[in-house]
Every structure is written in C-alpha cells, then in structure tokens.
Structure 1
Amino acid sequence: MKKPFIVVALVAGLVIAGLLYWNSRQEDAPSTLILHGNVDIRQVSLAFDGNGRVAQLLAEEGDAVKAGAVLAVLDTRTLALQAAQAQAQIAVQEKNLLRLRNGSRPEEIAQARSRLAAANADTYLANQELLRLQGIASKTAGRGVSVQDLDRAKSSLQVAKARGDEQQKALRLAELGPRAEDIAGAEAQLQVSQAELALLQHQIDLGSLLAPADGVVRSRLLEPGDMATAQRPVFALALTQPKWVRVYVSETDLGRIKPGMGARVTTDSHPEQPIIGKVGYIASVAEFTPKAVQTEELRTNLVYEVRVLVDDGRDVLRLGQPATVELDGGVAP
C-alpha cells in the first residue's frame, strides 16, 4: 500500500518543481524588449513629365512644402502660342458649323429665285427669237434668213435652257440647306481641334512641377536655364509621413514580437520625450542567409528586419537618426 503512495508523492514533487522552475524563468525573462535602429522615411525624385527649359525654381533645400505646391516651372511660351492658334482655329470652325446648322438664309433663297426667274426670261426671249426667225424662213422659202442665223438662235435657246436648269437646281439646294454629312464632318473637325487644344493645355499644365505630398526638400538638382527631361530629377523630396524605425531582431527574440504590438521610440536628442509607435512589418526572411548546412549556433545568429511605425506629429525624427525602440510585453502571443 505504501508503494503507490510513494509514486504519487514523487510525481507531485516533480510537477511542483517544474512549476517553480518555469516561474523562476518567467521572472528572469525581461518583459521589455529593447532594440536599436535608425529612422527611415520614403523619398521621391521629382521630375517633369516632358522636356523643356527650367524657367523658375520655387523651393530651396530644407524647405517644408505642402501637397500640391508648385516647386518648379518650365518655359511654356511656345506651347501657349500654339494653344492660342488652336483656340482661334476652333472659333472659325464653330462659326462654320453654326452656319451649316442654320442652313440658307431667306435672302439667299430669294436671290436664287431671282436668278431662276432671270434665266427663265432669257429662255423665253431666246425661244421667241428662234420662232421669229423660223417664221421668216418659212414665208420666204428660206431666203429671208440665213442658216447660220437659225443655228445661232437654236444654240442660244439651248444655252438659256441649260442656265435655267442650273438655277432651278441651285434654288433647290438653297431650300434644302447643307447636307447632313457636311454638318457631321464639320462637327468631327471641331472635335479634333478641341482635342488638340486640350492636349496643348495639358502639356502647359505639366510645365508646373507639383509636390505629390507633404515633405521636405532634400536636394535641388537643377537650376533655372537647365534642360529638364523625364529622366532628370529636379528635386529630391523626403516625405514627412509615414515614418518608421528600422530595427533588426535576432532569431531568438523573433517569437516575442508580433504586428500591432505597441512601442516607444526615443532618441539621444529627446530621451525624455518618447514617441508612440507600433510594429508594422516583420520580415519573413532573414536579412543575411548563412550556409546551406546550418548548425544550432548559426541559426541563433540570424536577424530579421522589423519596422516600427511612429506618429511623429512634432516632426522631431530625421532620416537616418539613431533611435531606441522599447517593445512592452515582448512575449510571444
């Protein structure tokens, strides 16, 4: 009966000893993970979308700029003259299209009718002259009128009839007005000219280099008079947001952090004014890859990049500045 009791007592003793050892390890393990790194921010190389000569630079190195601020301007005088020419051409085409849509004026129709009436009168006179000559010829057995006079009278009548037909068709066209195809063609030509003007205006707008976001000018790479291209940056802009501290965590501490974990960031310049942040990125691949065949010791030397995002409302952090990161409760979840 004593043997089972002894076994139970031994098992209980081992369990208690294990718990005491685990608690002592937990007490010895630091609750705060301290890491060291450098401040990092995004940078933008600003260049014009097209080619041209730099006319003005409106920012200096170190200037704080707001999103949408004009930083540089190209010489766009040639484009402006082309735009003015296109605008004048559009005005002419608009008037022409309006004329086609309105059709013939009443005065033009009245003028066409008058011309038709005159042509009909000429036809009547030519016909009367021919009848008169034919009557004389019939009474005199052809001796009172020459053959040439009769032929000339017949030709005059034919010419008068042709002119009358021409004036009749002209009156018809005036009454119908322009063809639908002519109006559509004028509209299409106007649209082409408007698109050309819009393109010129867009190119003029691209002559102003705008800041894409709030930031600080780090470098001024061109000067007024330089030729700018899409491949030649004019400014290097450091964005004020977002900012983060890039730190590296050893493989043994990797399990103690997780995304979203709260952090405090301090610098040598403001050691008593921590900046609140949080873990935003944990690399899934080691920064430096050891040999293919690893020993237990080599695996513990691996480091992983971690980015701690910070809300630097006072704008005290600078690019590359050393910083200390404290992660509270740096324990694996």
Structure 2
Amino acid sequence: MDNAKILIVAAVLSASCTGNQQAYDASGTFEAVETIISAEATGTIRALDVEEGQLLTAGQAVGYIDSMQLYLKKRQLEAQINAVLSKKPNIAVQLAALQEQLDQAIREQQRIANMVKADAATPKQQDDANAQVAVIKKQIAAQQSNLGISSSSITQETSPLAVQIAQVEDQLAKSRIVNPIAGTVLVKYAEANESTATGKPLYKIADLSTVTLRAYVTGPQFSQLQLNQQVTVLVDDADGNYREYPGTVAWISDKAEFTPKTIQTKDERENLVYAVKINVKNDGLLKIGMYGEVRF
C-alpha cells in the first residue's frame, strides 16, 4: 500500500476514534476517469490542436496524420474499377441489329397474313413468316442471356476492389484525430510533425464536470452506507475553512482491505477498511489528487 493510501487510512482511523468531536467520517482523494487517446494510424502528425488544460467537446476534430499515400491508393483502386467496368458489353447496342431484324420480320409476318386473307399468299408462306419471327426472338433471348452473364461477371470482378476502397476509407477516417469524449486535456504526449504509430498515445483527457472522491471507511461505517446515498463532502479552502459539496455514493467495495501494519500500535488489532467512491459535481475548484473528507 502506498504512502498516500496509508495517510488516508490513518485519517479514517483517527476520525473514527475521536467520538463526537470528529469533523468527518472518512477522507480520501479526488480522481476522475482518465482516457488516453491514441493514434489509430501510422505516419507523421500534420496537426494536433490540443493543449493541456483545454476543454474539448465530443466529436471535435483536433488534428490529422499524413494520409497522402492512402489517398493515392484509393485513387488507384477507383481507376482499376473504372477499367474493369469499361469491359462491360453495351447490351442495347449489341441487340440493336437483332431487334431491327425482328421488327422487319414482324412487318413481313403481318404483310403475309393480310395476303393470306386476300388469297394472295399461301399458308406455307405465313408459316415461314411466323417461324422467322420466332427464331429471331429466340436469338435475342439467347444474346440477352449471354450478355447479362458477361456483364454480371465483370461487375463481380470489381467487388474485391470495392472492399479494398472501403478499407482505405476506414484508414483515411482513422487518420483524422477526432476527440471521442468531452473533457479537459490533462497531458499532451505528442506534437505536430512528430512521427506516430497505431496505438501510440497522443493525449490524456478526463471529464472533470463530475469528479470522484475515493475514500476508505471502517467496518461500522460500512454498514451505514448504501448506493446513491447523499453525503456531504468537505474540502479545505484558502481561509482554512471548509467548502461543502453534496455527494452521491456511487460504488462500495464488497471486499475489505487490511489496515497497513505501519500505522498500528502494539495493542491495536488489525482493522479492516472498505473503499467507497463518491461522485461530486465539480464547480471548477476540485482537482485530481486533492484531498477531501466525507460526512455521512
């Protein structure tokens, strides 16, 4: 157990032994959920517009990593798709000749039919005209089928290229540095014009609008606590007095920790303490690492 934790537990034990004179029931330090934002692409950082202490909003663009090679790769893949698609047959053009033959055959069929009615043509001539129309229709259907299969096959050839373009677009998106959560920049790890790699930290951010006081309570105090319980958090001010903040118990450990041996007397038995987390709305004066006390 580190020295800070020892001091916290010592304060808890001291407070628990002073009877009605105690000013607080537990003490601890403030913390927040800290998130390290890392690069999602490899390359040179062209811009990183963040500074320590800066407030950022969720979704705010704060910089980008050089992506010229990815852009050129996308252009190349798009050119390959266009080259493949240029091989697709123009079905309408290739069927135009057969369609013209069909139109002519239908006109001839109608002419023969009229002549048969006027006894100017034989039934065999009409049968031949009907057969000609049927043959041309079958030729058109067969040609349409062949051209459709060829066109579909060529289109399918572009599917792997389209997937590659989607992959490149995802990499391009990851080259843009977008802040994922609202909060305050705590530490900046990188600068513009530096080289970075996927997973390399860029900056650390935390939402300080609500901070958490991590305190330790003894066994008797533990039985008095429950989740969402309202408590009072006390923080020293510049005049030596206390500033009071309303707090809410957000988490209670279900495992006890032994009090460190270094703060016990020879007559003292081993004590158990429990960790609790209390959420406090921050007015801007509460800082990570600052000490606070709790009154139940």
TM-score normalized by structure 1?
A: 0.61
Correspondence for 2:58 among 67, 78, 86: 67
Residue 264 (structure 1) shift: 1.8
CA contact (8 A) 1:47 1:209 kept: no
Match of 1:83 in 2: 74
- Unaligned ranges ≥5, structure 2: 1-18, 101-138, 262-266
176 and 323 in structure 1: CA distance in 2 versus 1, 3 angstrom threshold: same
Residue 224 (structure 1) shift: 2.1
Residue 58 (structure 1) shift: 1.0
CA distance in 2 between partners of 1:101 and 1:228 (Å) = 51
Match of 1:147 in 2: none
CA distance in 1 between partners of 2:252 and 2:84 (Å) = 63
CA distance in 2 between partners of 1:79 and 1:108 (Å) = 47
CA contact (8 A) 1:41 1:243 kept: yes
Mapping of residues 240-279 of structure 1, within 5 Å: 240=208, 242-269=210-237, 273-279=243-249
93 and 64 in structure 1: CA distance in 2 versus 1, 3 angstrom threshold: same
CA contact (8 A) 1:109 1:174 kept: no
The structure that is helix-richer by fraction is 1
Residue 303 (structure 1) shift: 1.2
CA contact (8 A) 1:48 1:228 kept: yes
Residue 174 (structure 1) shift: 11
Match of 2:253 in 1: 283
Deviates more, 1:233-242 or 1:40-49: 233-242
CA deviations over 1:5-25 (Å, ceiling 9, x no partner): xxxxxxxxxxxxxxxxxxxxx
Residue 32 (structure 1) shift: 8.5
CA deviations over 1:75-131 (Å, ceiling 9, x no partner): 00111111122223333444444x355461526988xxxxxxxxxxxxxxxxxxxxx
86 and 269 in structure 1: CA distance in 2 versus 1, 3 angstrom threshold: farther
Q: Does 1:46 align with 2:58?
A: no
Match of 2:289 in 1: 320
CA distance in 2 between partners of 1:92 and 1:108 (Å) = 28
SS in 2 for 1:61: coil
CA distance in 2 between partners of 1:29 and 1:63 (Å) = 44
Q: Does 1:310 align with 2:277?
A: no
181 and 107 in structure 1: CA distance in 2 versus 1, 3 angstrom threshold: closer
CA contact (8 A) 1:41 1:241 kept: no
Q: Does 1:221 align with 2:189?
A: yes
CA deviations over 1:136-182 (Å, ceiling 9, x no partner): xxxxxxxxxxxxxxxxxxxxxxxxxxxxxxxxxxxx69971444442
Residue 326 (structure 1) shift: 1.8
CA contact (8 A) 1:42 1:242 kept: no
Match of 1:201 in 2: 169
CA contact (8 A) 1:109 1:175 kept: no
CA deviations over 1:1-44 (Å, ceiling 9, x no partner): xxxxxxxxxxxxxxxxxxxxxxxxxxx87998532111110111
Match of 2:202 in 1: 234
CA distance in 1 between partners of 2:204 and 2:275 (Å) = 26
199 and 175 in structure 1: CA distance in 2 versus 1, 3 angstrom threshold: same
CA contact (8 A) 1:104 1:175 kept: no
255 and 297 in structure 1: CA distance in 2 versus 1, 3 angstrom threshold: farther
Q: CA RMSD in A?
A: 3.2
Correspondence for 2:160 among 174, 192, 198: 192
CA deviations over 1:48-73 (Å, ceiling 9, x no partner): 12322211111111111111112231
TM-score normalized by structure 2?
A: 0.68
- Unaligned ranges ≥5, structure 1: 1-27, 111-171, 328-333
Q: Does 1:298 align with 2:289?
A: no
Which of structures 1 and 2 has the bigger CA Rg?
A: 1
**Which residue identity is paired with 1:176?**
Q
78 and 184 in structure 1: CA distance in 2 versus 1, 3 angstrom threshold: same
Give the percent of matched residue pairs that are identical in Structure 1 and Structure 2: 21
How many residues align structurally?
A: 234
**Which residue identity is paired with 2:159?**
Q
CA contact (8 A) 1:44 1:239 kept: no
CA contact (8 A) 2:95 2:143 kept: no
